[in-house]
Structure 1
Amino acid sequence: MSKDLNQPLGGNKMPRFGGPATMMRLPSQPTAEGLDVCFVGVPLDTGTSNRSGARFGPRQIRAESCLLRPYNMATRAAPFDSLQVADIGDVAINTFNLQKSIGLIEAAYDEILSHNCIPLTMGGDHTIVLPILRAIARKHGPVGLVHVDAHADVNDTMFGEKIAHGTPFRRAVEEGLLNGKRVVQIGLRGTGYEAEDFDWPRAQGFRVVQAEECWYKSLAPLMAEVREQLGKGPVYISFDIDGLDPSSAPGTGTPEFGGLTTIQGMEIIRGCRGLDIVGGDLVEVAPPYDPQGNTSLLGANLLYEMLCVLPGVQYRA
């Protein structure tokens, strides 16, 4: 790997409305070879149950990410000082066949992980986390999970199907991809069909933090408890944008009111600093439902915050 680390294209070198259409206007390359971290898109929404459109998420997140700068002024994180990062483009999913897409995603992440590269994923609907976790578990074994979402995504089936955006974490438990005692779900809320919707994950050992427990407060104390619970060992972050309230993230397929604030979303990710994070995703951004682009811009910022808490990131005094 070159001693010269990739840097985002600066706004004083090229106007922010110009330059490459990559995450943060980083260099692009076809594989994860030589990288510590890669941004990768999975433009799939075949698994959605309500409003489609998340297939456009990766492209729009990249477009809005042109506003991001390399240093985190709040945390002093300078990820590009120590990590080689690039955008490796999108997984070429099968538009017409969800099962084949699952296999394509698994193979793509097996290849990424073969380079000891940490993937940060732009979704796509939440179905994609299942094949990603399969690849992650082959590399790292069962992992801990920080899951932000309005929904538990532990349905047994949806319209008789075992794989869809509302089922991935039940499949992940059944397949031994997660360590249930090292899983926390934050922001769950809304209406349901039965109490088991949130009780099933509790029965697996998950810590379930419903949105009502988060109202009117900082989540920094919660994240201190989460860090203690997850302890050492690999951790994956899965962030569904509908975990945040639709007043700030309207561009999503299954919005639920009474959600987390943008500040709380950032507190959750920043609170993961010190954990052994082996990957993360930001899913369910559906740009057609937010023509202003704010949801995509928020998604880009949250992915950047994930980058800033990865192992090996340097912090400037």
Structure 2
Amino acid sequence: MHSKLKASMFARWRNLRRTCAAADLSLRHTLTVCGVRLDPCTEPGRKCSGSRYNVPPSAEFVARVSGIPTMAKLPHQESAEGLDAAFVGVPIDTGTSNRPGARFGPRQIRVESAMLRAYNSGTRAAPYESLMVADIGDVNVNVYDLKDTCKRIREAYRKILATGCIPLTMGGDHTIAYPILQAVAERHGPVGLVHVDAHADTSDVVLGEKIGHGTPFRRCVEEGLLDCKRVVQIGLRGSGYSADSYEWSRAQGFRVVQVEECWFKSLAPLMAEVRAQMGSGPVYLSFDIDALDPGFAPGTGTPEIAGLTPIQGVEIIRGCRGLNLVGCDLVEVSPPYDTTGNTALTGANLLFEMLCVLPKIKYY
């Protein structure tokens, strides 16, 4: 029995290529069977790559409910140094105009992300065999002062981007896109934008204030942060303050795709057109969870009916494969309005899909 059990366990480990890449991970994927310590990356014939990547522990061997919640149960580190991509939280809702609670979004997304596994079964992407990824925690925001928070975000992202790391951001309300794009444009110049949202977020002033979650992309245009001919806004809908709520966006050269153009169809053809529009230049992806219909994602601050489906959300992100993505965000998850956790779970999966379409990702 001793030899049969040992052989069986070796066979199981042989199929876990992702664990091979984790030979240097602090939570090493080892197992003791009948007094024998099994390590998949030290056994002969393991075909280990020799590359040292961070790999989440498999729920086949480590319970999902155990450990400190980090994004996808990845290791936490203090900075982006040495990383190709990093998950980072920006826990604010100071810029919210309706229901608060998005400050708790990053925390809940991390909790629900325990469901994520190492490979993308739909696309066969292997992000943890391709890039060094970790969770670098949250920006130290000022929940009493939105302008100071924007300054803190901008400075934090300058440091992240200076390392060559691609940030994958968990919001937080959509105000955060403005200071993030300030830092992104400093490094890359004006960028293309794939903006998925129920709202255009191009208001000039709201309640006398120029900074809030309804104004970030107006501020970005004013400061020359966007390449306006390479901006697309997808899923826009809801009642408006004028007969044409998106006139300003179109006047800047944005492509506006209202939700009515998305109903009852696959968005794969649309994304083929978007890829052609974006070309080879740098692109930022900003995904507001309220782009999805509140029947699927009720945990958000400004819900609008008749939105996109999660399937369409995944199609949009997968359709960004091949773009020169330099940063992504998933914003406006407000856990108090979804006691099931499904909105945060959806957000976690969409962030994983974003990781899977970054440049240099390996596909099987």
Instruction: Tell me if both proteins adopt one fold, taking TM over 0.5 as the criterion.
Output: yes
Q: Which residue of structure 1 aligns with residue 116 of structure 2?
A: 68
2: CA distance, partners of 1:195 / 1:163 = 24
Correspondence list, 1:36-185, <5 A: 36-185=84-233
Please point out which of 268, 274, 283 is paired with 2:322.
Answer: 274
Identity of aligned residues (%): 68
- The Cα shift of 1:197 comes to 2.3
Q: Could you list the runs of 4 or more consecutive aligned residues of structure 1 that deviate by over 6 angstroms after TM superposition? A: none
Does residue 1:27 correspond to 2:75, yes or no? yes
- The Cα shift of 1:13 comes to 2.4
Q: Which residue of structure 2 aligns with residue 229 of structure 1?
A: 277
- The Cα shift of 1:14 comes to 1.3
- The Cα shift of 1:142 comes to 0.2
- Structure 2 counterpart of 1:217, which letter? K
So what's the TM-score if we normalise by structure 1? 0.98
CA RMSD, 1 decimal: 0.7
SS in 1 for 2:284: strand
The CA deviation string for residues 62-91 of structure 1, in whole angstroms up to 9 with x for no partner, is: 000000001000101000001000000000
SS in 2 for 1:197: coil
Q: Which residue of structure 2 aligns with residue 259 of structure 1?
A: 307
1: CA distance, partners of 2:291 / 2:230 = 20
Task: Give the number of the structure with larger relative contact order, counting CA–CA contacts within 8 Å between residues 6 or more apart.
Answer: 1
The CA deviation string for residues 91-143 of structure 1, in whole angstroms up to 9 with x for no partner, is: 00001000100000000000000100000000000000000000000000000
CA contact (8 A) 1:149 1:187 kept: yes
The CA deviation string for residues 21-58 of structure 1, in whole angstroms up to 9 with x for no partner, is: 10000000000000000000000100000000000000
Please point out which of 42, 52, 57 is paired with 1:4.
Answer: 52
Please point out which of 325, 335, 356 is paired with 1:287.
Answer: 335
Does residue 1:194 correspond to 2:242, yes or no? yes
2: CA distance, partners of 1:38 / 1:160 = 35
Q: Which residue of structure 2 aligns with residue 216 of structure 1?
A: 264
2: CA distance, partners of 1:238 / 1:10 = 29
Does residue 1:204 correspond to 2:252, yes or no? yes
- Structure 1 counterpart of 2:347, which letter? G
SS in 2 for 1:208: strand
1: CA distance, partners of 2:306 / 2:244 = 20
So what's the TM-score if we normalise by structure 2? 0.86
1: CA distance, partners of 2:317 / 2:271 = 9
Gaps of 5+ in 2: 1-23, 25-50
- The Cα shift of 1:196 comes to 4.6
**How many positions carry a matched residue from both structures?**
315
Gaps of 5+ in 1: none
CA contact (8 A) 1:185 1:207 kept: yes
The structure having more radius of gyration, on CA atoms, is 2
Q: Which residue of structure 1 aligns with residue 362 of structure 2?
A: 314
Q: Which residue of structure 1 aligns with residue 296 of structure 2?
A: 248
SS in 2 for 1:180: strand
SS in 1 for 2:276: helix
CA contact (8 A) 1:155 1:197 kept: no
- Structure 1 counterpart of 2:191, which letter? V
The CA deviation string for residues 198-241 of structure 1, in whole angstroms up to 9 with x for no partner, is: 11000000000000000000000000000001111000000000
- The Cα shift of 1:11 comes to 0.4
1: CA distance, partners of 2:136 / 2:57 = 16
- The Cα shift of 1:20 comes to 2.5
2: CA distance, partners of 1:97 / 1:88 = 23
- The Cα shift of 1:17 comes to 1.1
- The Cα shift of 1:12 comes to 1.9
